[in-house]
């Protein structure tokens, strides 16, 4: 029997939204679903191993790169971030209750077979190449995303 | 015949997004669907009867509690809130056109059988117990959410 | 054989989120799906041909209208907008890589048969009439949205 599919668009690069996306991904993969996360726009930076755009790209791309966090460790809270104070409080609470960090949760998702796909349109816009996004398992555009989503039992835009 | 299911993740605690979530919930329940709203992260405060975390929890949890609005009445607009001016304008317009407030809409949803489920992971993080969230009909984690969502005809992340 | 349906709630009026919504809509329509976008709350302004609420409505509605961008051209970035600097950088990059603007993308969606539906509840709240939203193909409430969504293969809330 074919496995049920779940497909999540991760548009946001915020830590709290990404935590929600990967908690759901891990739960779905644990229940035997075939999960794909499609990283687009601000979410794309979560596939980078280091802040991108500091050393290459056009001035405009560097500006976006400087401001866009990039890497899971640099992701911010969507609210109450307060120049990092709210984020540090959240991280301290997560550590206290032994909850996995965003990086750990993404690692667990990978180990359970969740597939990470980078949006090629966003890559072109930001001047990123495949080697800039080492955490990506694949690279695709919106048509490819829609084809998969239309076969999925669970679709979310986060 | 089994009823069609709708499952909404309410991640946001903002008044405007919550209004959208419960307008859709009420419409779906009115059309005979079995609706569940899964309150997580900032959305969890909407299940509280009073601002939580003021009188207990660790200092970090109290800090998050002080900043996170809690209770439907304290929910803010996601934009144009302007220290409450935009929100008051919105409330005044809603009153003028006899539209239900967020609290009334949540009451209507309940009376139509919409089930309110609190995310236990968020509860642990924020140091909340079941009695802190009197509006909740149930308490569950991501696995339970995913199991239901994969059987639902309508899934949204708000 | 009946066509597969996709239904997108466009709650946000931000340029980046709207670009994502219409990129997905265009891809879905190109793949032969029947696509409907339901414009609600801040998203409703994208159906206006000019900033609405400047010359009519109650003072409260005019205030919301002044602050809410209205028209695709006036849509802002959800982050890094920086009083328009971030948006201009994004527009410059989009132009450089020959990516369509939001207005062009919405035009393409229309030409592929994507249906634009305005939320009548939001219209009442903002004091808008049908002639204020010339880009709308239809006008409907939440019940109509839910009926369609429950028959759709792809549902997103953006």
The pLDDT tens digits for C97-150 are 889 999 999 999 999 999 999 999 999 988 889 998 999 999 999 999 999 999
Question: Which of A69-83, B104-118, C8-22, C90-104 shows the lowest mean pLDDT across its residues?
Answer: A69-83
Instruction: Give Cβ neighbours of residue C90 (< 8 Å, ≥ 6 apart).
Output: A64, A125, C15, C16, C77
Instruction: Give Cβ neighbours of residue C29 (< 8 Å, ≥ 6 apart).
Output: C35, C109, C112, C113, C114
| % of residues, chain C, pLDDT over 90 | 61
**Residue C90 confidence (pLDDT) above 90:** no
**3-state class (DSSP) for residue C55:** coil
How far is it, in rounded angstroms, from Cα C2 to Cα A120?
A: 31
Question: What does the CA dihedral C126, A17, B143, C148 come to, rounded to 10 degrees?
Answer: 30
**Interchain CB distance below 8 Å, A93 and B125:** yes
Characterize the bridge pairing of strands A34-39 and A5-10.
Answer: parallel
| % of residues, chain B, pLDDT over 70 | 85
State the pLDDT at residue A90: 84
Q: Are C116 and C135 in contact (CB under 8 A)?
A: yes
User: What are the angstrom distances between the C-alpha of C49 and each of B72, B97, C52?
Assistant: 35, 25, 8
Which one is predicted more confidently, A60 or C71? C71
How far is it, in rounded angstroms, from Cα B28 to Cα B21?
A: 11
Among A72, A71, A48, A37, smallest CA distance to A127 is for A48
**Interchain CB distance below 8 Å, C20 and A157:** yes
Which one is predicted more confidently, C48 or A61? C48
Looking from the CA of A61 toward its CB, the CA atoms found within 13 Å total: 21
**Can you list the positions of beta strands (E) in C11-131?**
34-39, 115-119
How confident is the model over B152-158, as a mean pLDDT? 98
Smallest CA–CA distance from C88 into chain A, residue: A60
Strand order in the sheet with C138-140: C138-140, C115-119, C34-39, C5-10, C154-157
Q: Within 10 A of C50 (CB to CB), how many other CB atoms are there?
A: 12
**Interchain CB distance below 8 Å, C64 and B93:** yes
What's the whole-number average pLDDT of chain C?
A: 88
**Residue B32 confidence (pLDDT) above 90:** yes
Smallest CA–CA distance from B152 into chain C, residue: C150
Which residues, given as ranges, of chain A have pLDDT below 70?
1, 50-57, 62-69, 80, 82-83
State the pLDDT at residue C111: 98
Among B82, B144, B72, smallest CA distance to B103 is for B72
Q: Are A30 and A105 in contact (CB under 8 A)?
A: no
How far is it, in rounded angstroms, from Cα A155 to Cα A137?
A: 19
The C-alpha of B58 sits at a distance from chain C's nearest C-alpha, in angstroms, of: 32
Cα angle B44, B48, B49; round to 5: 165
Q: pTM of the prediction?
A: 0.92
**Interchain CB distance below 8 Å, A80 and B58:** no
State the pLDDT at residue C63: 66
Terminus-to-terminus CA distance in chain C, angstroms?
29
What crossing angle do the helices spanning C85-96 and A59-67 adopt, rounded to 10°? Answer: 130
What's the whole-number average pLDDT of chain B?
A: 88
**Interchain CB distance below 8 Å, A16 and B147:** no
Q: Are A141 and A147 in contact (CB under 8 A)?
A: no
ipTM computed for the complex: 0.90
State the pLDDT at residue A88: 84
> What is the DSSP code (8-state) at residue A8?
E
The C-alpha of B83 sits at a distance from chain C's nearest C-alpha, in angstroms, of: 14
**Residue B38 confidence (pLDDT) above 80:** yes
State the pLDDT at residue B58: 72
Region of A98 please: left (phi>0), alpha (psi -120 to 50) or beta: left
Question: All domains of chain A, ordered by start, with CATH?
Answer: 5-157 (3.40.1260.10)
- Taking CB atoms and an 8 Å cutoff, what residues of chain C touch A58? 93, 96
**Residue C59 confidence (pLDDT) above 80:** no
- Choose the closest CB to A31 out of B61, B143, B155: B143
How many residues belong to chain A?
158
State the pLDDT at residue A149: 98
Which one is predicted more confidently, C81 or C7? C7
State the pLDDT at residue A87: 84
């Amino acid at each position: 029997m074919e496995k049920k599919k779940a497909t999540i668009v991760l548009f946001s690069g915020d830590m709290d939204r990404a935590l929600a996306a990967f908690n759901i991904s891990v739960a779905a993969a644990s229940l035997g679903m075939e999960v794909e996360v499609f990283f687009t726009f601000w979410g794309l930076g979560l596939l980078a191993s280091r802040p991108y755009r500091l050393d290459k790209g056009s001035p405009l791309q560097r500006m976006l790169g400087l401001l866009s966090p990039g890497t899971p460790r640099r992701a911010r809270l969507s609210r109450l971030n307060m120049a990092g104070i709210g984020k540090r409080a959240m991280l301290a609470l997560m550590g206290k209750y032994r909850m996995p960090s965003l990086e750990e949760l993404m690692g667990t998702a990978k180990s359970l077979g969740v597939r990470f796909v980078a949006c090629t349109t966003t890559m072109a816009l930001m001047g990123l190449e495949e080697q800039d996004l080492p955490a990506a398992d694949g690279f695709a555009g919106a048509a490819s995303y829609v084809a998969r989503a239309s076969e999925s039992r669970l679709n979310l835009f986060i």
